[in-house]
Amino acid sequence: QISLKESGPTLVKPTQTLTLTCTFSGFSLGTNEMGVGWIRQPPGKALEWLALLYWNDVKRYSPSLESRLTITKDTSKNQVVLTMTNMDPVDTATYYCIHRQGDGDYGLWGQGTLVTVSS
């Protein structure tokens, strides 16, 4: 059974760097076609894709946020880490990780973690 869980700080200050970890089970990022992505949702607003990491270490980023994002993996720990630099109050959101099982196949989400950006 596949599961994912996000972890990281609940509060960061403006200009700081956010580091979030997605710890997953039930699949390996070493397996063909697998991937893990990050999505965020500001309070009361719609969903926005941030980044995606494929099993072959190919990385894709939202063009509008690419300069601030880095996604990496630790296959041995079953973790994917997202860093976002220069945090701003508008980045306040629930951040979710999501499992990719193949082309176009994004079915399972983590529970999400709320990150507030405030001084």
Partner 1 sequence: DVVMTQSPLSLPVTLGQPASISCRSSQTLVHSDGNTFLNWFQQRPGQSPRRLIYKVSNRDSGVPDRFSGSGSGTDFTLKISRVEAEDVGVYYCMQSTHWPLTFGGGTKVEIK
Distance in Å, CB of 24 to partner 1, minimum: 14
**Which string of DSSP letters, residue by residue, matches 23-49?**
EEESS-TTSTT-EEEEEEE-TTS--EE
Taking residue 81's Cβ as centre, other Cβ atoms within 10 Å add up to 19
Question: Which lies closer to partner 1 via its Cβ, residue 15 or residue 56?
Answer: 56
Nearer to partner 1, 54 or 92 (CB): 54
Strand order through the sheet with 18-25: 3-7, 18-25, 79-84, 69-74
**Nearer to partner 1 among residue 32 and residue 63 (C-beta):** 63
Which amino acid, 71?
A: I
What's the min distance (Å) between Cβ of 116 and partner 1?
A: 17
Point out which residues bind partner 1 (CB under 8 A): 37, 46-49, 52, 60, 62-63, 96, 103-112
Tell the smallest beta-carbon distance from residue 105 to partner 1 (Å). Answer: 7
